[in-house]
Amino acid sequence: MYKKLSIVLFIIILSLVFYIYYDSVNKESKIGIIDMDLVLEESIRAKELQSELEKRGDQIESKYEDLKLEDEDVDNQIYMEFMQNKQKIEEKLNSEIELVLDQILQEENYSVILYKKQTYFGGQDITSKVIKLLDEQFIKKNIEKGTDS
């Protein structure tokens, strides 16, 4: 009696394990695609950061303008400072985009998000969602800064 019951329980457990495994293997993956060129072109936040970089570049140039006597060291210094500022701004934008992508991954259950340039076919284009969320968060932060002052 116990032997038959244990065999039945074993078969039921084994069936459940196979069902769970089969179900997880056969679930369709949801893949998102993002066009970073379009994000950089259309996002208010990306344009704001680009403008910030241009202003910093102008400030750096004017800082060294008096010293510029065809000195290669001065040119290299300007270039290095500009590149450091560019890297900081790119890191800021990338971290903000990463937060938006994490939000989209969680809310819409994407398995993976790929760059459009590296994807030949397939996936859902989520670029407009990324631009919208990125700009909404930027505008919200600016409004909060305005009310805090």
Condensed to tens digits (0 to 9), the pLDDT of residues 48-95 reads 999 999 999 888 888 777 665 556 677 788 888 889 999 999 999 999
Over residues 2-50, the pLDDT tens digits come to: 677 677 677 777 676 766 666 555 556 788 889 999 999 999 999 999 9
Secondary structure of the chain in HEC code, one letter for each residue: CHHHHHHHHHHHHHHHHHHHHHHHHHCCCCEEEECHHHHHHHCHHHHHHHHHHHHHHHHHHHHHHHHCCCCHHHHHHHHHHHHHHHHHHHHHHHHHHHHHHHHHHHHHCCCEEEEHHHCCCCCEECHHHHHHHHHHHHHHHHHHHHHHC
Lowest pLDDT segment from 60-69, 71-80, 105-114, 133-142 = 60-69
Structure tokens at 138: 């930027």
Distance CA 118, CA 97 (A): 18
State mean pLDDT over 127-146: 86
pTM score of the predicted model: 0.67
Domains in the chain, ordered, with CATH? 2-148 (3.30.910.20)
8 A C-beta contact, residue 108 and residue 30? yes
Q: What pLDDT sits at residue 148? A: 53
